[in-house]
Amino acid sequence: MGSFLVWLSDPGALREDPGVLCAQFPACVSQFSVCSVFTDEFQVIGPSEPIMAELGGEATLPCYLLPPMNAEDMELRWYRTKFSEEVFVYRNHQEQHKEQMPQYAGRTSLVRDLLTQGQASVRILKVRALDNGRYTCFFQKGGRYAEAILELKVAGLGSAPQVHIEGPEKDGVRVVCKASGWFPKPQVRWTDLSGKKFVEFSEAHAQDTAGLFSVEAALVVRDSSAGSVSCSVLNPILGQEKAMAVSIPEPFFPQASPRKAAFAGILTVLGLLLFGAGCFTRREHSAKLQERQRQEKLRRAKEEDQRAKEEALKARDELQAELDQRKTAYLAGE
């Protein structure tokens, strides 16, 4: 890409409205990334390609003078679509913070390293989605001034997609994918296990007050053998994506072929038979266990009864022995 250069026959007209000249030459905006306007003394050049910045990061908007000259004594401005939408103002060797828009307060600074060589850049911190778009850098020295248009492209990854099954719908299963916090508007792709793309699905986007996008995409899966599907959310500028897969059990599908229905019926019958057999086995096992417990109880009762009898006989024998001993002692005393 090159620069679209316009010589000024009436510089005063540009000072009243610096954007009017480029508006009168649409080729400057539609065919070129740089629109440089200059007088017979100097011109301002900006980058020919868009400047890339990630959400939350930093962005540098550079412009330089041609021919190179000291810009320390110049008035420098970076603004949005209107001259009054000031992002940054440098005048009288100082940054004029009172003139900038509130949303840029505390987030901008001037890179002065090469200012004496005619190169100046504005650094924007904590880049937001609303920073995306075109900027104009405006250099003025006395009654002479020039400007250039440059573009900032902001991009950022949002949340990972959340995928869930909503339930049967018509002849398939409805699956929904949601993600938020993306910029710019993300792209959604549905694939099956083999990586084959689903072409037909609904997609809706919404943008919050911070300029970030949320997306909701709904897919109706009609092939009960799909197993699982994956939802990918892609940032078209960064080329990065986040994905999540969900498994779809076959019983979720509302309709099935006769063969599958018959097979399902057989499985149901087998399941009932197995359940009945299990119940019978458990019942028989329970009866046997109860019988063993009863036999064990009887055995313990018999053992306790036998021990009681033995203890009674022992006590009787001891008592008889004691009586015999006393009798013997008594007879001996006569």
Residue 159, CA distances (Å) to 74, 118, 164, 202 in order: 45, 42, 15, 20
143 and 167 both lie in a single domain: no
Q: Where a domain ends, among 129, 154, 179?
A: 154
Domain that holds residue 286: 259-334
More confident residue, 194 or 258: 194
Coil, helix or strand for 25?
Answer: coil
Residue 169, CA distances (Å) to 40, 172, 257 in order: 70, 5, 17
143 and 14 both lie in a single domain: yes
Residue 179 has pLDDT above 80, yes or no: yes
79 and 132 both lie in a single domain: yes
40 and 149 both lie in a single domain: yes
209 and 68 both lie in a single domain: no
Q: Within the chain, how many helices (H) and strands (E) appear? A: 4, 19
Angle at Cα 187 formed by Cα 193 and Cα 159, nearest 5°?
Answer: 85
More confident residue, 295 or 21: 295
CA distance linking residue 256 with residue 261, whole number of Å: 6
67 and 203 both lie in a single domain: no
Bridge-partner residues for 178, per DSSP? 162, 216
267 and 322 both lie in a single domain: yes
Instruction: Give me the pLDDT at residue 55, please.
Output: 96
Query: pLDDT by residue (tens digit) across 210-246?
Result: 999 999 999 999 888 778 999 999 999 999 999 999 9
Query: pLDDT by residue (tens digit) across 258-297?
Result: 555 555 556 565 666 667 667 767 777 777 778 888 788 8
Residue 148 has pLDDT above 60, yes or no: yes
CA distance linking residue 1 with residue 50, whole number of Å: 11
Query: pLDDT by residue (tens digit) across 55-114?
Result: 999 999 999 999 999 999 999 999 998 999 999 999 999 999 888 999 999 999 999 999
197 and 319 both lie in a single domain: no
Residue 147 has pLDDT above 80, yes or no: yes
User: In the chain, where does DSSP find H-type helix?
Assistant: 11-16, 20-24, 26-30, 258-333
* CATH for 191: 2.60.40.10
Instruction: Give me the pLDDT at residue 17, please.
Output: 46
Instruction: Give me the pLDDT at residue 272, please.
Output: 66
Q: Quick check: 24 and 87 in contact, CB under 8 A?
A: no
Q: What is the mean pLDDT of residues 294-301?
A: 80
Q: Quick check: 128 and 8 in contact, CB under 8 A?
A: no
CA distance linking residue 73 with residue 92, whole number of Å: 7
130 and 11 both lie in a single domain: yes
225 and 270 both lie in a single domain: no
Q: Where a domain ends, among 203, 236, 252?
A: 252
- Residue 309 DSSP symbol: H
12 and 123 both lie in a single domain: yes
Domain count, the chain: 3
242 and 264 both lie in a single domain: no
Instruction: Give me the pLDDT at residue 149, please.
Output: 96
User: In the chain, what is the straight-line distance between the N-terminal and C-terminal CA atoms, in Å?
Assistant: 149
Mean of per-residue pLDDT scores for the chain: 82
Residue 333 has pLDDT above 90, yes or no: no
Instruction: Give me the pLDDT at residue 270, please.
Output: 61
Q: Where a domain ends, among 131, 154, 177?
A: 154
